[in-house]
Amino acid sequence: MSEQIDRIPFSFEIYQEGDITPVNLNVLKDYLKEKTAIRVFLRENIYEGLLKEQIEKMAQKMARIRIKEPQKGLLLKDPLKGEVAYEKERINDQAWRSFGILYEGVLYQKLLAEFPLKEKLDERYCSILITTQLIGTWDQNDHRYHLRTSIYGFPHIISIPGLVLAPAKPREFYIKRQMGLPVEILKEEYRGKFLDHEDSRMTEVIKGYIMQALFYQIMENPFCEDRDCRLFNAHWQQEMIHAQLNGKYEFCPKHESILEKIKNRTWNYPFQ
């Protein structure tokens, strides 16, 4: 990874989509200010201010990027009226909860850039959406869609249900589930070893994913190979929980040094 720091955002712009309980945005705000000294703005509802005709267009396009069969490529057929109505309803309802619909993550990102975030997508802003929606991307290796915890770019997207469902649980969990053991019994047996919905640890875990978004923006590489660093690219729940909650430190010495430079502004800061 290059040591060159190319661009530091003028501010974090944190948006939410739907009811993001149990995430505490104020805790995230204080954390980011402490670690980076970059200004943080909590913009809350990402769809606030959209005109009626914009909502109509976005609902139409959102309904088209649903992934109904993860084993197949995206089929852009005309959505049903009920699917469009569903999208309009959730766009208009900030308290909306996820119902397990999977969206094509890259196209989701493009829709956000086209409509609500059109004026906030440049290097001056680190625009991040924390969403209750499931997002996935196509894997060329096994030719299917996979759930993702996050997608980085303009804007960055962090999926709360993705943090629960995308990283794999312990192998024994799946084996016992195939043997017929009820999920609730397994959750009790493996309590603490993976994130669950409404998990009180969610805010702490998301801290690391927001920092990954920042490192993507300033260095084009959000990840670290050190399993104790919050920037570690976890594929298993155990790895994610270790990196975000139980590591030897928050950030490896290399990335901690970069954060210190960001915080102290020890080089030319282009947007100041």
Please state the domain count of the chain. Answer: 1
How would you classify the pairing of strands 156-159 and 150-151?
antiparallel
Task: Return the CATH number at 238.
Answer: 3.40.390.10
Question: Is 90 exceeded by the pLDDT of residue 269?
Answer: no
Place 30 in a pLDDT band, splitting at 50, 70 and 90: very high
Q: What is the pLDDT of residue 140?
A: 86
Two structure tokens written together for 143: 């030719």
Place 272 in a pLDDT band, splitting at 50, 70 and 90: very low
Query: Percent of the chain beyond pLDDT 90?
Result: 72
Q: What is the pLDDT of residue 39?
A: 95
pLDDT in tens, 108-165: 999 999 988 877 777 889 999 999 999 999 988 888 899 999 999 999 999 999 999 9
Q: What is the pLDDT of residue 1?
A: 40
Is 44 among the domain residues? Answer: yes
Please enumerate, as own/partner, the contacts of 218-223 that have beta carbons within 8 Å and a separation of 24 or more: 218/5, 218/6, 218/7, 218/8, 218/9, 218/262, 219/1, 219/2, 219/4, 219/5, 219/6, 219/258, 220/6, 221/1, 221/2, 222/152
Is 150 among the domain residues? Answer: yes
Two structure tokens written together for 41: 């703005």
Report the 10 Å Cβ neighbour count for 161. 20
Integer Cα distance of 224 and 239 in angstroms: 13
Is 112 among the domain residues? Answer: yes
With tokens 């769809």, the residue in question is: 47
Is 155 among the domain residues? Answer: yes
Compute the mean pLDDT over every residue in the chain, rounded to the nearest whole number: 91
In which domain, by residue range, is 29 found?
11-264
With tokens 């995230």, the residue in question is: 28
Two structure tokens written together for 77: 């057929």
Place 177 in a pLDDT band, splitting at 50, 70 and 90: confident
Q: What is the pLDDT of residue 56?
A: 96
Question: Is 80 exceeded by the pLDDT of residue 98?
Answer: no
